[in-house]
A and B are shown apart, each in its own frame.
Chain A
Amino acid sequence: MSSQAQAPPIDLVLDEYTGAPRRGFRLLIGLCWVFVALVAFLAVFGERVAADAYGQDLATGISTPSVSHPLGTDDLGRDVLSRVIVGARTAVVGPAVITLGAGLLGGALGLLAGYRGGWSDNVILRWVDLMFALPGHLVAIVVVGVLGGGYWLAVAVLILLSSPSDTRLIRAATLEQRPRPYIEAARVLGLPGRRIAAQHVLPNLLPLIIASVFLGFAYALLAMTALSFLGLGVGPGTADWGRMLAESRRLIFHNPAAALAPGAMIVVTAASMNLVGDWLAERLSDRGRAQ
């Protein structure tokens, strides 16, 4: 379902033979971090930076980029740059909640399946297999659409649909930890299973979880913007990157920037998150190996 979760590593960061960081990569990752920070800043303070995302100016109507409107205006005379800036909020809040929710739900199930084993593992695995067999995005489109649409409904459905990839990830990592001596030691001490799982296994999975948060965010961002693009997420007229793209699609001959700017924001944000996630995954797993 989540393409990132299943795709093999790409050895982008560290040279697969020498293990040294690749030249020029530090700069790229640095730029990604800066961009992620910028988007996060705009998500919080966007409405103060760009005050007029909703003010219409029907007399002006659609216009190409100019000094007063660096990215031009859309068909209702609204300033595209302001809308792109304000749109950072819906692009960050929903995916962040999805990543957190799916991580908590999926992670708990994965830990349970991996540590307890037995019938709970069996039941949870069947559930994960079923979810992986379905085309997740399409299920989201149908369920969100049939239930009437809306931003938070989309968030809830996507939490449910993206949690299985977290379950699979955490389960596999937990199984890897189980035979290690420190678990055995904790069991000999007579600690209850729940405490071993939460206080001994979980901290050892932290590097993996941190890396997957970034990859999961990129996935959630693409899913949310797709739903908004299809008219199933935020309401009409909202300054949201997916929605703006959909509404400016037909303006491409008149003011291309109105459609291209939100599109570029989606891609650059997702790519930054993916690169930072890959970088963290390689870096953190490498540190674990060195110890």
Chain B
Amino acid sequence: MQRSQLLAFVGRRLAGLALLLCIISFGVFSLVHLVPGSAEQVLISGRRPPSPERVEAIRERYRLDESFWSQYTHWVRRAAVGDFGLSIRTGEPVARALRERAAPTLFLGVYAWILVVSVGIPLGVLAAVKKRTAIDRAAVAMSVAGVSAPAFVTGIFLLYIFAVVLGWFPAFGQGSGFAGRLQHLTLPALALALTGIAPVLRFTRTGMLETLEQDYIVFARARGLSRARVLFGYGLRNALIPVITAGGLLLGILLTGAVLVEVTFSIPGLGNLLIEAVNFHDIPVVQGVAMMTATLVIMVNLATDVLYMFIDPRIRFGQVAA
């Protein structure tokens, strides 16, 4: 009974996410037809008039003679194995560009994520435990500032303070080797993390404040459990549920932030690739980045659901919320 309910819950979520992926892929494919101009013009760089053979090859490659639906299924089948065609700007395969550009973005994202989790959650707990004190006010003020400051503005201010005035960090570029990367990407990761910390801090603080008022906390303290056990084993574990559900929100903030931060600090990552491609109307590259992002969003959503089930037994034991 329990197991079948669990499976039904997982199945429903999976079906929903698969549908989402279908809808996104359809939208991303349609970009070719959304750009002003015919599909051939869009897919061939327009500097000199293309030879009839080139046009023919492109028509063949994208099945432009067939129906819209058949073009879409053909495109999806290729996209599923990572083949997004050739970049219009450089002429090289989109997959190669994606591979080359993924490393700095991944480094930046993971770095920022670690900062968000290791600063946002403890600070939220601290603010809740020390409620109505200066620490709490400072944490709340920081979260208001974090919500109001976009990553590119934070980035410029960090750049000014730490690279121009103090000269501790390099201003632009991505560096080489792990140490070089760490040094070059510290300011960008900090700028990215500051926008992500705000919501995590808010969710943790509110969750913790609510949890600490529950009867089972009073009871745990009455039983004489250590303060740390009550706070982390009972309090934080329950307070984290809303934080985990906000995981998708955090991903959205980090993704947008990564684009802005990469442009601010001239990091040659996926975000910069997307902006270059968008400005050049390099549709195959835009499609590649978009589908990669969509897959990431869906995988994180799935991971959030699974984690949610592990942490909240009410979901495992019957009371499945839709």
CA of A278 to CA of B274, assembled, Å: 35
Contact at B164–A252, with CB atoms within 8 Å?
A: yes
Contact at B144–A10, with CB atoms within 8 Å?
A: yes
> What is the size category of the interface that chain B forms with chain A?
35 or more
Most A CB within 10 A of own CB, among B131, B147, B249: B147
CA of A70 to CA of B298, assembled, Å: 49
Q: Residue of A at shortest CB range from B207?
A: A8
Q: Residue of B at shortest CB range from A136?
A: B252
Q: Residue of A at shortest CB range from B257?
A: A137
Contacts known (A137-B252, A230-B259, A245-B152); A260 close to B147, Cβ less than 8 A: no
Closest approach, in angstroms, between the C-beta of B204 and any C-beta of chain A?
10
Contact at B150–A231, with CB atoms within 8 Å?
A: no
Contact partner, B264, options A11, A249, A275, Cβ 8 Å: A249
Q: Is residue A270 within 8 Å, beta carbon to beta carbon, of the partner chain?
A: yes
Closest approach, in angstroms, between the C-beta of B15 and any C-beta of chain A?
13
CA of A249 to CA of B262, assembled, Å: 13
Q: Which of A49-57, A99-107, A127-135, A184-192 lies at the interface?
A: A127-135
List A contacts of B202 (CB < 8 A): 7-8, 10
List A contacts of B242 (CB < 8 A): 8
Q: Is residue A68 within 8 Å, beta carbon to beta carbon, of the partner chain?
A: no
CA of A273 to CA of B148, assembled, Å: 9
Contact partner, B286, options A135, A137, A146, A273, Cβ 8 Å: A146
Closest approach, in angstroms, between the C-beta of B275 and any C-beta of chain A?
6
List B contacts of A206 (CB < 8 A): none
Contact at A135–B148, with CB atoms within 8 Å?
A: no
List B contacts of A230 (CB < 8 A): 259-260, 263, 275
CA of A273 to CA of B171, assembled, Å: 31
List A contacts of B144 (CB < 8 A): 10, 12, 271, 274-275, 278
Contact at A130–B249, with CB atoms within 8 Å?
A: no
Contact at A222–B156, with CB atoms within 8 Å?
A: no
CA of A44 to CA of B283, assembled, Å: 39
Contact at A256–B164, with CB atoms within 8 Å?
A: yes
Contact partner, A15, options B132, B157, B209, Cβ 8 Å: B132
Q: Is residue B246 within 8 Å, beta carbon to beta carbon, of the partner chain?
A: yes
List A contacts of B145 (CB < 8 A): 267, 271
Q: Is residue B24 within 8 Å, beta carbon to beta carbon, of the partner chain?
A: yes
CA of A281 to CA of B251, assembled, Å: 27
List B contacts of A143 (CB < 8 A): 34
Contacts known (A138-B293, A267-B153); A133 close to B20, Cβ less than 8 A: yes
Q: Scoring A residues 251 to 289 as 1 if CB is less than 8 Å from chain B, else 0, what string do you get?
A: 011001001100110110011011100100000000000
Q: Is residue B23 within 8 Å, beta carbon to beta carbon, of the partner chain?
A: yes
Contact at A249–B156, with CB atoms within 8 Å?
A: yes
State the majority secondary structure of interface residues on A. helix
Q: Residue of A at shortest CB range from B143?
A: A10
List B contacts of A273 (CB < 8 A): 148
Q: Scoring B residues 7 to 40 as 1 if CB is less than 8 Å from chain A, else 0, what string do you get?
A: 0000000000000100110000001001110000
> What is the size category of the interface that chain A forms with chain B?
35 or more
CA of A230 to CA of B276, assembled, Å: 10
Q: Is residue B84 within 8 Å, beta carbon to beta carbon, of the partner chain?
A: no
CA of A133 to CA of B247, assembled, Å: 12
Contact at B156–A245, with CB atoms within 8 Å?
A: yes
CA of A143 to CA of B203, assembled, Å: 31
Contact at B279–A145, with CB atoms within 8 Å?
A: yes
Closest approach, in angstroms, between the C-beta of A112 and any C-beta of chain B?
21
Most B CB within 10 A of own CB, among A146, A267, A278: A146
List A contacts of B264 (CB < 8 A): 249
Closest approach, in angstroms, between the C-beta of A237 and any C-beta of chain B?
16
Contacts known (A4-B147, A142-B31, A225-B150); A260 close to B160, Cβ less than 8 A: yes
Contact at B149–A135, with CB atoms within 8 Å?
A: no
CA of A133 to CA of B147, assembled, Å: 20
Contacts known (A6-B246, A142-B286, A145-B278); A274 close to B147, Cβ less than 8 A: yes
Q: Scoring B residues 238 to 263 as 1 if CB is less than 8 Å from chain A, else 0, what string do you get?
A: 00001000101101110110011001
List B contacts of A231 (CB < 8 A): 275, 279
Q: Scoring A residues 118 to 150 as 1 if CB is less than 8 Å from chain B, else 0, what string do you get?
A: 000000000000100111111001110111100
CA of A135 to CA of B132, assembled, Å: 35
Closest approach, in angstroms, between the C-beta of A60 and any C-beta of chain B?
22
For the complex of A and B, the 10 pairs showing the least CB-CB separation, nearest first, are A145-B278, A271-B148, A137-B256, A270-B148, A8-B206, A263-B153, A135-B252, A267-B149, A7-B202, A222-B150
5 A-B Cβ contacts within 8 A? A3-B253, A133-B248, A145-B275, A147-B36, A230-B259
A6-B199, A138-B293 given; 7 more Cβ-contact pairs under 8 Å: A7-B203, A142-B290, A146-B34, A226-B152, A226-B260, A267-B153, A274-B147
Interface residues of A (CB under 8 A from B): 1, 3-4, 6-12, 15-17, 130, 133-138, 141-143, 145-148, 218, 222, 225-226, 229-232, 245-246, 249, 252-253, 256, 259-260, 263-264, 266-267, 270-271, 273-275, 278
